[in-house]
Chains A and B, each alone.
Chain A
Amino acid sequence: MKEPLPFDHRPDTVLGEELRRALDPGDAASFVARVLARAAEARVASWDAVLARWARPGVAAAVLVALAAGYLVGRASAAPAPRPSVYDALMAPPAHPGEVDIVLASVIGN
């Protein structure tokens, strides 16, 4: 083996190959499969966590919306009937038709 040069900027291919062989973990396929399976589990768990985190505020918001809607509906049904307009009052049939006749007769008679 050649004498190592101080601060050699190039990788030592001989040493690198031996180290690579020494550290070779083997069975890459099962490792990759394991990581991907764990990632899938983690993704499901994270969705559950997101849903759980939003569940309480979601229920509270739904209750508030229901209360607001109930208030508005109740208020609408309890409101007084609208007052008749002048047009409605004039055009409506008289409650006591005789009074009109008396008035007309007195006017004609005069």
Chain B
Amino acid sequence: MADPQPPQRAARIAEQDEAELVVRAAAGDRAAFGVLVERYAGVARRVARAVLGNPEDADDAAQDAMLSALVKLDQYDARRPFGPWLLRIVANAATDRRRRRTVRRVEPLDAGLTAGGPRPDTTAERRALGERLRQALAELPERRRVAVVLFDVEGYSHAEIAAVLGIPEGTVRSEVFHARRRLRALLADWKEEA
């Protein structure tokens, strides 16, 4: 099934019914919890993957975080947006898992891939670009990775990302800036070489 969320501001979901969904889910309404899981599955998995790299680990972390959130729903402050609250749990779960797991490094990319390649017009080329981006992302500090994914992929504001990461807003701006600089350079190289 394709991710139902739009590409930009995917997590900026209308919040008027979200508080009610959370209340119902906390009261044991499985359908309400299901709606929340469907809404946030995509962003949760992407954030976890940005932290962990490995997609299986990321899914496990996202799942653990969703279940942990279900248990903690009574602690959620309904006056605040649900997304950042959940994503903080996701980011923490992914970070914990990364710390716990045995060293399982991402396979090194071959030299041709890291040195650039043709314009990503075909599926294989696009896959290669994706691999390069993931590799570049993995080289960034963890906080920077999450910040740029939440800002440029998910459309969260600096303030919301600050809440997710538990850092000042100015630090988020800095992290996004540095991450972008690295990733944009990679994309630019790719296109120039093409």
- The chain A residues found within 8 Å of chain B, CB to CB, are 1, 4, 6-9, 11-25, 27-29, 31-32, 34-36, 38-40, 42-43
Least CB distance, A73 to chain B, in whole angstroms = 42
> Smallest CB-CB separation from A6: which chain B residue?
B177
Least CB distance, A14 to chain B, in whole angstroms = 7
Q: Which of A15, A24, A29, A36 contacts B183 (CB 8 A)?
A: A15
Supposing A19-B133, A22-B130 touch, asked if A35 and B67 sit within 8 A by C-beta, the answer is yes
> Smallest CB-CB separation from B188: which chain A residue?
A1
Determine if B67 and A42 form an interchain contact, defined as CB atoms under 8 angstroms apart: yes
In the complex, what distance in Å separates the CA atom of A14 from the CA atom of B133? 13
Q: Could you jot down 14 A-B contacts, CB within 8 Å?
A: A4-B184, A14-B187, A15-B184, A17-B7, A19-B133, A22-B130, A25-B45, A27-B1, A28-B2, A28-B4, A31-B41, A32-B34, A35-B63, A42-B67
Least CB distance, B193 to chain A, in whole angstroms = 13
Q: Which of B1, B7, B58, B158 contacts A28 (CB 8 A)?
A: B1
Chain B interface secondary structure, helix, strand, loop or mixed?
helix
In the complex, what distance in Å separates the CA atom of A40 from the CA atom of B30? 8
Residues of B within 8 A of A19 (CB): 133, 137, 148-149, 152-153, 183
Most central of A17, A18, A27 by chain B CB within 10 Å: A18
Determine if B30 and A39 form an interchain contact, defined as CB atoms under 8 angstroms apart: yes
Supposing A15-B184, A19-B183, A42-B67 touch, asked if A36 and B133 sit within 8 A by C-beta, the answer is no
Most central of A6, A28, A35 by chain B CB within 10 Å: A35
- The chain B residues found within 8 Å of chain A, CB to CB, are 1-4, 7-9, 28, 30, 33-34, 37-38, 41-42, 45-46, 49-50, 55, 58-59, 62-63, 66-67, 70-71, 126, 129-131, 133-134, 137, 148-149, 151-153, 155, 158, 173, 177, 180-181, 183-184, 187-188, 191
Determine if B63 and A34 form an interchain contact, defined as CB atoms under 8 angstroms apart: yes
In the complex, what distance in Å separates the CA atom of A13 from the CA atom of B154? 10
Knowing that A16-B8, A28-B1 touch, tell me 13 more A-B residue pairs with CB under 8 angstroms. Answer: A7-B173, A7-B177, A15-B152, A15-B180, A15-B184, A18-B129, A18-B133, A18-B187, A21-B130, A23-B45, A23-B153, A28-B4, A32-B38
